Amino acid sequence: MSVYLSNYWSLYSEFINVLKDLKYKDIPIALMTNFYQQINDELSSEMEHKDFEMKLNDSGIKAQNEIQPFFERMVAPFKRPFKTNVEGKILINQDYTRISEKTLSDHFSGDQTMILSRSRTSEIFGIPNVCIGGFKSDTRHASEELIRIAASILAKYEGHPAFSNPFFSQTFIKRIPGIVDAIETVSNLYDQIPISAVLIGTTEDVVSRSLAVVGAVKGIPSICLQHGILMGEEAFIPVFSSHVGIYGEYEKSWYLARGLEEKRIAVIGHPRYDEIFTSARLPNLTFIEEHGLDPNKITLLLATGPRLDADKIQMLITGLAANEKFQLIIKPHPWELSKRLISIYTDLEEKYKSVRVIKDKKADTRELIFNSDGVIASLSTVALESFLFNKPVFVFHFIHANREYDYYNSLESYIQNEPAELIKTVSHYFASEQEKLNYENVKNKFLLSSYKIEHSGGELSNLINRLINERPE
């Protein structure tokens, strides 16, 4: 682990230990907050120093393989064995699961399945829908008391690097009403509707986490799908669901290294990618006309990411634009678009006729991938999707980070830290048949460990049925 991550897990475990008796319905409130969002830039900088852990007194995670076991000990007092519920419904939380209408109709029956959403519509894609708002009840008094106790506990830690940090403590305290509300709402839902299994798309948000954690209290199995490639590990572990549905063998090794039991890991891909292998796309000539492209040039899609080295990304775009064989479509990351941090790209668009910048947040990234001759991407899910579209993919590692990211390291020369080297690699690929053969070998090796499921919807359905019928403990 990097120094930052080592300190992160030490601090997280100390936070849980200190607040373990602050509970609602026997569930520790501290387990329910998205912890990394309580860390501001000031605290994050402190956590990059080796001596940070010396300032902690009650941490419980000292090594990588202790991460999940620590949280299992915290969950153990309220976790119950699975209960067979033959009359129960499969509950799919609409938020973050990204399951298409086709996957739902192909693999989930309206008789056995129910969607949970914030909408009051009676059904979604032909599946009965229930609105989560219909299960709320007044929790203000309970929240006020818990806020008082939490503030009193944290006030005792004057001088603590995190607990005395106003942003850290106030972010947690402000979240308590939402946490209590989510636990109460989900408890009411489970009490009123028989549920056999739950499907969620993440446990970062409080409702999804409550569906998994309160499910553990009720003996209801849950599956959390993988919502993106494993970049920020804080978004993927601890695991609060009874099972995780993951992309490939890379993730399996990743979770095992952090102490998650193998029987809780299922390599099933993600239904969101199934349509890559089956769906029809916009004709290429139509695409070229819409974007004002030259049909005689090689079209490269350049997908960016947040917090990139600005000098390096500018050098990369400038170097590619200088090659008359290429034309570039730049797809800024949604974070950059929302923060209006795309001037570096639009300035280059004004300078080079061969550069187009996609400014529409709703632009279909898959349409862009499909109609490009090659994809140049940051360390992102776009790169993986491009592999699945069978496009040549070149990855740039220009991120400023407090840890190492090794997901794409097996790509050999097709991942680069320096713009000049990546430009050379891209140019060589499109000029050499031998290089294209070499790329195919590297790509196939990468996909063996990263993603090889073409019918994830079916794999997911089979996993849910096994959990419902076999009831593993």
Q: What is the pLDDT of residue 471?
A: 53
Report the amino acid identity of residue 27.
I
**Residue 469 burial (CB < 10 Å; 0-12/13-18/19+)?**
exposed
Give the DSSP per-residue string, 406-466: -TTGGGGGGEESSHHHHHHHHHHHHH-HHHHHHHHHHHHHHHHHH---S-HHHHHHHHHHH
Q: Report CA 140 to chain centroid distance, whole Å.
A: 32
Q: Are 232 and 254 in contact (CB under 8 A)?
A: no
Q: What is the pLDDT of residue 473?
A: 47
**Residue 460 burial (CB < 10 Å; 0-12/13-18/19+)?**
buried
Q: What is the pLDDT of residue 54?
A: 92
Cis, bond preceding 334 (omega within 30 deg of 0)? no
Number of H helices and number of E strands within the chain?
A: 17, 16
**Length of the chain in terms of residues written:** 473
Kindly report the backbone phi and psi dihedral angles of residue 299, in degrees, each rounded to the nearest multiple of 5, phi listed first.
-95, 120
At 122, list the tokens: 């009676």
Q: Are 164 and 170 in contact (CB under 8 A)?
A: no
Helix, strand, coil percentages in the chain from 3-state DSSP, rounded to 5: 50, 15, 35
Q: Are 214 and 173 in contact (CB under 8 A)?
A: no
d(CA 256, CA 251): 8
Contacts with 233 (C-beta within 8 Å, 6 or more apart), sequence order: 5, 258, 403
Helix (H, G, I), strand (E, B) or coil at 130: strand
CB half-sphere exposure, 130, CA atoms < 13 A = 22
Q: Are 369 and 276 in contact (CB under 8 A)?
A: no
Contacts with 101 (C-beta within 8 Å, 6 or more apart), sequence order: 125, 126
Could you report the average pLDDT of every consecutive run of 10 residues in the chain (473 residues)? 95 97 97 97 96 92 96 95 86 94 92 95 94 96 97 96 97 98 98 96 96 97 95 93 97 97 97 85 83 93 90 95 95 89 93 93 91 94 95 92 88 95 96 96 96 94 90 49
pTM of the model: 0.93
Q: Report CA 247 to chain centroid distance, whole Å.
A: 12
Q: Are 367 and 398 in contact (CB under 8 A)?
A: no
Q: What is the pLDDT of residue 85?
A: 78
